[in-house]
């Protein structure tokens, strides 16, 4: 059975990125304190809250654009890396196919040479057998029959 340490694992790294959550929390706490200690009228306080909310929204949108840009850059880098590896694999597969085809052609050529040599040996044996048969036409028994009879 496999040990738990042998299993593959994935590491996810997170960039602290300046702490957007901390910034947002600080802005809310600051706005709340400003409301409590502000010597302003309700209308002035509402206007100030609107302006701070607008600034906060603008800052949040800017942070989102930065995060999106960073993510897009990382995705492009990953995509390029994957495409490069796919290209390497395709090249390796093509090289393997070519090597297999070359090996097959070489093997077929060797096989044909072996067959031709075997045919030539058979023809030579038949030729030698035919010339031996002409010399021994006087004896009616073949050498194997003579050996069996003795």
Q: Is residue 7 part of a domain?
A: no
Whether the per-residue pLDDT at 147 is higher than 60: the answer is no
Concatenating the DSSP letter of every residue in 20-68 gives HHHHHHHHHHHHHHHHHH--S-HHHHHHHHHHHHHHHHHHHHHHHHHHH
What is the pLDDT, as a whole number, of residue 128? 81
Q: Which of 63, 62, 61, 55 is nearest to 17 (CA)?
A: 63
Question: Cα–Cα distance between 121 and 107 in angstroms, integer?
Answer: 21
Q: Is residue 86 part of a domain?
A: yes
Q: Is residue 115 part of a domain?
A: yes
Question: How many separate domains does the chain show?
Answer: 1
What is the pLDDT, as a whole number, of residue 125? 87
What is the pLDDT, as a whole number, of residue 144? 45
What is the pLDDT, as a whole number, of residue 150? 43
pTM more than 0.75: no
Write out the two tokens for 25. Answer: 């929390």
pLDDT per position as a tens digit, 128-142: 877 765 554 444 454
Q: Is residue 117 part of a domain?
A: yes
Whether the per-residue pLDDT at 14 is higher than 80: the answer is no
**Of residues 25 and 98, which shows the higher confidence score?**
98
3-state secondary structure of 113: helix
Whether the per-residue pLDDT at 91 is higher than 60: the answer is yes
Q: How confident is the model at residue 104 (pLDDT cuts 50, 70, 90)?
A: very high
Q: Is residue 142 part of a domain?
A: no
Whether the per-residue pLDDT at 4 is higher than 90: the answer is no
Give residue 88's domain range: 22-131
Q: Is residue 141 part of a domain?
A: no
pLDDT per position as a tens digit, 37-76: 767 677 887 888 889 889 989 999 999 999 999 999 999 9
* List of residues 6+ apart from 11 with CB closer than 8 A: none
């Amino acid at each position: 059975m496999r040990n738990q340490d042998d299993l593959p694992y994935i590491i996810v790294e997170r960039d602290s990125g300046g702490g957007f959550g901390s910034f947002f929390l600080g802005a809310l706490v600051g706005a709340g304190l400003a409301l409590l200690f502000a010597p302003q009228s309700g209308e002035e306080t509402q206007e100030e809250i609107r302006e701070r909310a607008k600034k906060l929204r603008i800052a949040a949108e800017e942070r989102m654009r930065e995060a999106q840009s960073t993510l897009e850059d990382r995705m492009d880098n990953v995509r390029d890396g994957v495409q490069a590896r796919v290209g390497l694999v395709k090249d390796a597969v093509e090289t393997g196919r070519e090597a297999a085809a070359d090996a097959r052609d070489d093997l077929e050529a060797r096989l044909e040479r072996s067959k031709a040599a075997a045919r030539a040996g058979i023809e030579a044996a038949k030729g030698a057998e035919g010339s031996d048969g002409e010399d021994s036409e006087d004896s009616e028994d073949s050498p194997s029959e003579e050996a069996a009879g003795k």
